[in-house]
Amino acid sequence: MNIEVREVGREDLLLYGKIPISFMVEHILEVHVADEGFGGIALSEKEVPTPYLKDYDACEDEGPARWAEMFDVSNWAFFMAYERNLAVGGVGVAFDTPRVQMLDGRKDLAVLWDIRVHPDHRRRGIGSMLFQRAADWARKRGCKQLKVETQNINVAACRFYRNHGCKLGAINLHGYYGCPEAAGETMLLWYLDL
């Protein structure tokens, strides 16, 4: 495998967005809340009756090509993975951006905004290379933690983050309540200590 990871600019976000992020949902992490939360919260993996395709880029108004319009990305970094000059993966990381609520107003926190690897190139270590590059970038800016949001329908991503040292820090059962296409999903927030 001959993969090169390069830092790219906002002018490359259109190309970045052409790397598919979709995946098949075949399992979910079901959330079990005992005694209204006083008895604890547990996750268990459950097979979905009918697998389906989830595409985070389906909402065209929010994809990578629009990030620079929606946010001040001057404190963000974008990296892309190339194999023989073919873009096969990308990662975006945000830091010190007032309008990004996920940063919680902290100056010592970075957010893994997006990570994607083309389906034909998954399970080859490219995601790990991109994740490491994002973590290194955040560490060099004095961040103490890297925060990652995913959903209970993305079991592979949850395993990936856990396997890369992240710890589940929050479960929000109603995190997507106002978003009809994701209202049934549970928000999971992972944290990597840098």
Instruction: Please count the structural domains in the chain.
Output: 1
Contact 110, 94 (CB under 8 A): yes
Average of per-residue pLDDT across 172-184:
88
Range of the domain at 125: 3-193
pTM of the model: 0.94
The three-state secondary structure class of 119 is: helix
Distance CA 123, CA 89 (A): 12
Contact 178, 167 (CB under 8 A): no
Is 90 exceeded by the pLDDT of residue 136? yes
We report the CATH number of the domain holding residue 98 as 3.40.630.30
Tens digits of residue pLDDT in 141-164: 999 999 999 999 999 999 999 999
Predicted local confidence at residue 183, as pLDDT: 86
Predicted local confidence at residue 60, as pLDDT: 64
